Amino acid sequence: MSAVGPGQLRARQRPLLILSIAGVRAASALCLAWPLASLVAASGIGARTQGDRALFEPGGYLLLEVVRLQGPALLAAARGLLPLLGMGLLLSALCNAGLLLGLNQSERIRASELTARALRVAPRLLLLGAGASLLQIVLGLIGAALAGTVPEPLAKPLAATLGQVAVWLAIGILVGAVGGLADVARASLIRHEVPLPQALAHASQLAWRRPALSCFGWLPYAFPLALSFALAARIAEACDVSQAGAWRVALVFVVHQLVIVIAVALRAAWYARALRLTASETLRQS
């Protein structure tokens, strides 16, 4: 197996891999959504002539009624699904490892081999992800504490809000930078096949040399994703599934699945970018 040259590191080289990962995610989501949807159907909604169109009818009487009456059961079921959610998240992390590995390879790689290699690097990647998440949570808590200290003069509500926004923006930038750096460290770990401390050291060096790209290189991929979320919400609204017609549900389903595929593709594109970055900048040993 040989690593692909930096010039060929492109997400579009791996369409099947992207679709496979979207498929795995869909399978995991199916396990989570099915029991909850069954509870909703059993609430009495499924017995109505119009079926669960009633949930989306203007006014929201039946939607709120199902939430009111089935809320405790749905919450209990959701709690019961937490282990499954945990496994789903682990599977997602494994998929992300596979995505990085697949993008980094010049040859086609068999699924079994990709899985085996992903399993090998997964502990390091999970440790990295857990550390980054912990740091982001700590930053969030610091942000909350700082936001609480922003003075709120009665006559300057705009200034007070801007003060809060400034605090949260600063925290958001730091949280985003931590996420970006963690991804770059992941890419370094895969690209150079180095232990976690060296991958982190490489990411730090990159952050020093090319801070914008290392910390916020993901931003150009986040914008189209946000746009696709918003567009999908608009389309779903326009389809108005409270009206009769199976095509409405089918269309919304297709649009939503397209968003998921786009999300995976954009992640792949960012990973490819991160791999290119780590490939072009060598690790300096101290």
Partner 1 sequence: MRCGSSTRCSISASSRWAERWPRLAVALVLLAGHGRALAAEPVLEHAPRVASYQLDAKLDESAHRVHGHGSIELYNYTAATLHELYLHLYMNAFKNDQSLFLRSPFGAGRSGGHGGKWGYIDVKRLYAAQMETDLWPNRSAKSPGDPDDETDVRVPLPVPLEPGHTLKLDVAFEVQLPEIVERTGFKQSYHFVAQWFPKLAQLLPDGSFNHFSFHPQSEFAADFGSYDVTLDVPERDVVGATGRCEPLPSPGVGRRALRCRAEDVHDFAWTSWPDFVETRAQVGSVDVRVLTPPNHASNAATELEIVRFGLSHFGERFGAYPYPTLTVVHPPDAAADSGGMEYPTLITTGGAWFAPFTGARDVEAVTIHELGHQWFYGLFASDEHRFPFLDEGLNSYAEHSGLAQRFGTGSAYSGFGLRVSNEALSRAIAAARGADEPIAQGAGDFFSFRSVGAIVYGRTASLMSTLERVYGKPQLDLALHDYADHARFRHPEPRDLIEAVRGRLGDAAARNLERALFERASVDYLVRDVQSVPRDPHAGVFDESSGRRTVPRSEPRPPAHFAGHAIVLRHGALEFPVDIELCFEDGHCEKRSWDGSGTDYTLSVDSTSQLVSVTVDPTQRVLLDDDLTNNAAGTHERGSPRAFERLFYYAELLLGGGLP
Interacting residues with partner 1 between 1 and 30 (CB under 8 A): 25-26, 28-30
Residues 92 and 260: their CA atoms lie apart, in Å, by 13
Applying CB under 8 A, does 76 fall inside the site for partner 1?
A: no
Q: Which of 53, 191, 202, 276: binder of partner 1 (CB under 8 A)?
A: 53
Three-state SS annotation for 208-261: HHCHHHHHHCCHHHHHHHHHHHHHHHHHHHHHCCCCCCHHHHHHHHHHHHHHHH
Residue among 1 and 85 whose Cβ is closer to partner 1: 85
Applying CB under 8 A, does 152 fall inside the site for partner 1?
A: yes
Residue among 20 and 52 whose Cβ is closer to partner 1: 52
Give the gyration radius of the chain's Cα atoms.
23
Tokens describing residue 223:
């914008």
Applying CB under 8 A, does 146 fall inside the site for partner 1?
A: no
Q: CB of 282: closest distance to partner 1 in angstroms? A: 26
Tokens describing residue 155:
């006559």
Residues 269 and 265: their CA atoms lie apart, in Å, by 6
For residues 16, 21, 26, 32, the Cα torsion angle rounded to the nearest 10 degrees is 170
Applying CB under 8 A, does 263 fall inside the site for partner 1?
A: yes
Q: CB of 229: closest distance to partner 1 in angstroms? A: 8
Applying CB under 8 A, does 217 fall inside the site for partner 1?
A: no
Residues 6+ apart with CB under 8 A from 177: 207, 215, 216
Q: Which residues, in sequence order, are bridge partners of residue 105?
A: 3
Applying CB under 8 A, does 33 fall inside the site for partner 1?
A: yes
Residues 6+ apart with CB under 8 A from 114: 98, 101, 102
Applying CB under 8 A, the site for partner 1 has a residue count of 77
Q: Taking the CB of residue 38, how many other CB atoms lie within 10 A of it?
A: 12
Q: Which stretch binds partner 1 (CB under 8 A): 108-116, 118-126, 147-155, 188-196?
A: 147-155
Q: Which of 13, 65, 205, 231: binder of partner 1 (CB under 8 A)?
A: 65
Helix (H/G/I), strand (E/B), else coil: 61: helix
Sign of the torsion formed by the C-alpha atoms of 270, 276, 279 and 283: negative
Applying CB under 8 A, does 40 fall inside the site for partner 1?
A: yes
Q: Which of 1, 19, 76, 85: binder of partner 1 (CB under 8 A)?
A: 85
Q: Taking the CB of residue 224, how many other CB atoms lie within 10 A of it?
A: 15
Residue among 193 and 240 whose Cβ is closer to partner 1: 240
Q: Which of 19, 75, 113, 237: binder of partner 1 (CB under 8 A)?
A: 237
Applying CB under 8 A, does 156 fall inside the site for partner 1?
A: yes
Q: Which stretch binds partner 1 (CB under 8 A): 102-110, 134-142, 158-166, 188-196?
A: 158-166
Q: Which of 9, 218, 275, 276: binder of partner 1 (CB under 8 A)?
A: 218
Applying CB under 8 A, does 239 fall inside the site for partner 1?
A: yes
